[in-house]
C-alpha cells in the first residue's frame, strides 16, 4: 500500500461523535483527518434516532453518561448560535399514569438534581394539560425545561464543515483495514484508499467500535447492536399532537416508547428496543410497529395512524461496560469514543472536549489564535418571507424552481448542498441536507429530479447516482441489466 497522507490525528467514524471530535481537535495546532467508510457522513446511528437533547436526569450519577450529558446540553446552547444548528428547546416530560409511576418520577427527580440538571419539577395533571393538551390520561410528569430536539444530521455536518474551515480534512468511502505500530505505538492507519501516517487515532466507529479497537489490539470491550423502530407522521396532519418530548416512565432497558415533535414540525412515535446480532439489520417489523402503536396509545388513545408517512429503524451501540468508553486505551496513541448510545447525541460535544484535551496535552499542542467558530447561516427558502424569497429568486433563478413540493425545496438549495464543503453526493445526502424527499410523498415526486440534478452537478451518469451507501444503485443501464440477467 502507498502512503497517501500524514497527519497528527485520525478520527474514525463520521457520525455525531466523530465530527464533534474533529471540530474540537481543529481548535489546536494539529493536522486532523476524519475517515468514514460510507459515501456520506452521519448515516449510521446519527441518521436514525430520537434527535433529543436530553436534560441529563436519567443516567446514573457519576457515570460518564451523566457527566457528559449535562455538559453537552449546555454546550449545544452555545453551538446553536455559532453553527446555526436546527434546535427547538421544547423541554421534556416523563409522564406517569399511576401512583407507582409517580414514585419513579421522584427517583428521577432526585437523580437529576444530583447530576446537576437545572429546573426539574414535578407537574400535576392540570399543569401537564396546560403544556400538552392531548395527554388527558396522565396524572403527573417530571418536567425538564433544559431538554430539546435537534436535527442530528445537520449538527454532524455543521461540526465537520466548521472543522474543515479550520484546516481539518474529511475522507468518505474510506474503510479502515488495520493499524501499523512502531515500538508499540500507533504509527499509521491502513485503509482501502492507502496508508495514512499518524500518531493518534480516535475510534468513534459506532456499532463497529469494538472491531476497530481489536484491530489496534484493544479487546477490553464489546459492542452489541440494539435496534429501535419508529413511525413518522405527516406534519400537515398532526403538528399539534405534542409540542415537545413526551417519555413514558422508563424501564431498565429503555427510556421507553415516546411521542415527540421534531424541529421540522413532524411528530414521531418510538422507539422500541430489540437486542439483535446483525449489525446492519435496519428492517422494520409488524411486531415492532404494533408494539410502538400500542404503547403510544396508552398516552394518546386517538393516534391519527392514517397520517403516518414512513417507518424506519436505527441501531444503538450498547457497550459491555454499561457506560460510555472514553479515553486512552491499552494501545498507545489509540483513544476510544465507544458505546455512544443514548444520550450520545447530547454528550458528543462534551466527549469531544475530553478527547481533544487529552490528545493536545499528550502532543504538547496549543490552541489556535484564530479559530473560526462560526459558520455562515443560511435560511431555507420555505422559511423565508415573501420578500426574501423574491430577492433570492432575483439573485439566483434556481430558487424559482421548486423540486420538492411537499417541503418547498428549490433547485438552488439542492445545488448548494452538492457544492458544500461536505457535499451531498447521494439522493439521501440531498434529502438530509435539504429535506427534499422527506414530505408526505417521501420522494415519489421529487426523487427522479433530484437524481438528475446530482448526475448533472457531479458530471456522472444516472446509473452512477447512489441512494445512500456504496452499493445502493437506483438505476442500471439497460444493456448492463440484460448482461447480468443472462
206-237: pLDDT as tens digits: 999 999 999 999 999 999 999 999 999 998 87
The DSSP output letter for 306 is G
Residue 298 to residue 138: CA distance in whole angstroms: 9
Give the C-alpha distances (Å, rounded to integers) separating 274 from 218, 228, 293, 316.
27, 6, 16, 10
Q: How many CB atoms lie within 10 A of CB 254?
A: 18
> Which one has a higher pLDDT value, 362 or 255?
362
Q: In the prediction, which pLDDT does 477 show?
A: 79
pTM comes to 0.96
Q: Is the pLDDT of residue 150 over 60?
A: yes
**Does the pLDDT at position 486 exceed 70?**
no
Q: How confident is the model at residue 348 (pLDDT cuts 50, 70, 90)?
A: very high
Least confident of 82-86, 238-242, 285-289, 438-442: 238-242
Residue 480 has pLDDT above 60, yes or no: no
Instruction: For residue 391, give every residue at least 6 positions away whose Cβ sits within 8 Å of its Cβ, in sequence order, or none.
Output: none
- The Cα angle at residue 454 between residues 409 and 40, in degrees rounded to 5: 90
HSE value, Cβ hemisphere, 13 Å, CA-based, for 239: 5
Active site residue ranges: 54
Cell of 255: 427510556
CA distance 430 to 162: 19
Cβ-in-10-Å burial (0-12, 13-18, 19+) of 16 comes to buried
Checking 431-435 for CB contacts under 8 A at 24+ apart, the result is: 432/42, 432/47, 432/153, 432/154, 433/153, 433/154, 433/157, 434/380, 434/404, 434/407, 434/409, 435/264, 435/380, 435/404, 435/407, 435/409
pLDDT tens-place string over residues 50-72 = 999 999 999 999 999 999 999 99
Predicted pLDDT of residue 41: 97
Locate 1 and state its grid cell.
500500500
**Cβ neighbours of residue 347 closer than 8 Å, sequence gap 6 or more:** 65, 68, 69, 71, 72, 324, 340
The proportion of the chain whose per-residue pLDDT surpasses 70, expressed as a percent, equals 97
What pLDDT, on the 0 to 100 scale, is given for residue 80?
97
d(CA 317, CA 375): 30
Per-residue model confidence (pLDDT) at position 330 = 85
pLDDT at 484: 56
Burial class (CB in 10 A: 0-12, 13-18, 19+), 387: exposed
Q: Where are the beta strands (DSSP E) in 3-155?
A: 3-6, 9-12, 32-35, 52-53, 87-88, 92-96, 121-124, 140-144, 148-150
Note the Cα 324 to chain centre separation in Å. Answer: 17
pLDDT per residue as tens digits for the range 179-205? 999 999 999 999 999 999 999 999 999
Q: What is the pLDDT of residue 482?
A: 55
The Cα–Cα gap between 464 and 290 comes to 38
Q: Which residues pair with 238 in a beta bridge?
A: none
**Whole-number Å distance between alpha carbons of 92 and 148:** 7
- β-bridge partners, 141: 95, 123
Given this model, what pLDDT does residue 228 score?
96
Place of cell 504509527: 187
The helices-and-strands tally (H runs, E runs) of the chain is: 14, 24
Q: Which residues pair with 367 in a beta bridge?
A: 28
Mean pLDDT of the chain: 95
Cell triple for 452: 438528475
Amino acid at each position: 500500500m502507498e502512503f497517501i497522507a500524514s497527519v497528527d490525528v485520525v478520527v474514525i467514524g463520521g457520525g455525531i461523535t466523530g465530527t464533534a471530535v474533529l471540530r474540537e481537535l481543529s481548535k489546536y495546532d494539529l493536522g486532523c483527518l476524519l475517515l468514514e467508510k460510507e459515501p456520506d457522513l452521519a448515516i449510521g446511528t446519527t441518521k436514525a434516532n430520537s434527535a433529543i437533547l436530553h436534560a441529563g436526569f436519567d443516567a446514573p450519577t457519576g457515570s460518564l453518561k451523566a457527566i457528559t450529558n449535562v455538559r453537552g446540553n449546555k454546550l449545544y446552547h452555545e453551538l446553536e448560535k455559532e453553527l446555526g444548528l436546527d434546535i427547538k428547546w421544547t423541554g421534556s416530560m416523563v409522564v406517569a399514569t399511576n401512583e407507582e409511576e409517580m414514585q419513579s418520577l421522584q427517583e428521577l427527580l432526585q437523580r437529576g438534581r444530583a447530576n446537576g440538571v437545572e429546573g426539574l419539577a414535578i407537574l400535576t395533571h392540570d399543569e401537564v394539560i396546560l403544556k400538552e393538551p392531548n395527554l388527558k390520561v396522565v396524572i403527573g410528569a417530571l418536567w425538564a425545561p433544559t431538554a430539546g430536539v435537534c436535527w442530528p444530521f445537520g449538527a454532524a455536518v455543521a461540526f465537520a464543515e466548521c472543522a474543515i474551515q479550520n484546516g481539518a480534512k474529511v475522507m468518505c468511502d474510506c474503510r479502515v483495514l488495520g493499524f501499523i505500530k512502531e515500538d508499540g505505538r500507533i504509527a499509521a492507519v491502513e485503509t482501502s484508499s492507502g496508508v495514512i501516517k499518524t500518531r493518534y487515532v480516535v475510534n468513534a466507529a459506532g456499532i463497529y467500535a469494538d472491531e476497530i479497537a481489536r484491530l489496534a489490539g484493544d479487546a477490553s470491550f464489546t459492542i452489541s447492536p440494539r435496534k429501535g423502530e419508529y413511525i413518522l407522521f405527516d406534519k400537515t396532519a398532526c403538528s399539534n399532537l405534542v409540542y415537545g418530548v413526551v417519555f413514558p416512565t422508563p424501564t431498565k432497558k429503555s427510556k421507553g416508547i415516546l411521542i415527540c415533535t421534531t424541529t421540522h414540525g413532524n411528530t414521531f412515535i418510538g422507539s422500541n428496543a430489540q437486542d439483535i446480532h446483525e449489525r446492519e439489520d435496519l428492517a422494520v417489523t409488524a411486531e415492532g410497529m404494533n408494539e410502538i402503536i400500542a404503547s403510544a396509545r396508552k398516552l394518546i388513545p386517538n393516534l391519527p395512524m392514517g397520517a403516518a408517512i414512513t417507518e424506519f429503524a436505527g441501531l444503538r451501540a450498547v457497550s459491555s461496560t454499561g457506560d460510555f468508553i472514553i479515553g486512552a486505551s491499552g494501545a498507545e496513541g489509540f483513544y476510544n469514543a465507544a458505546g455512544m448510545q443514548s444520550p450520545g447525541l447530547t454528550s458528543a460535544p462534551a466527549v469531544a472536549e475530553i478527547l481533544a484535551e487529552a490528545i493536545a496535552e499528550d502532543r504538547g499542542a496549543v490552541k489556535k489564535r484564530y479559530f473560526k467558530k462560526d459558520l455562515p447561516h443560511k435560511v431555507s427558502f420555505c422559511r423565508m418571507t415573501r420578500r426574501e424569497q423574491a430577492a433570492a429568486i432575483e439573485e439566483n433563478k434556481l430558487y424559482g424552481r421548486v423540486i420538492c413540493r411537499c417541503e418547498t425545496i428549490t433547485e438552488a438549495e439542492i445545488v448548494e448542498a452538492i457544492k458544500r464543503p461536505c457535499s451531498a453526493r447521494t439522493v439521501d445526502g440531498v434529502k438530509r441536507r435539504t429535506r427534499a424527499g422527506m414530505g408526505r410523498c417521501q420522494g415519489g415526486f421529487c426523487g427522479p429530479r433530484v437524481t438528475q440534478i446530482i448526475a448533472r452537478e457531479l458530471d456522472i451518469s444516472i446509473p452512477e447516482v447512489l441512494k445512500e451507501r456504496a452499493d445502493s444503485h437506483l438505476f442500471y443501464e439497460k444493456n448492463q441489466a440484460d448482461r447480468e440477467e443472462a
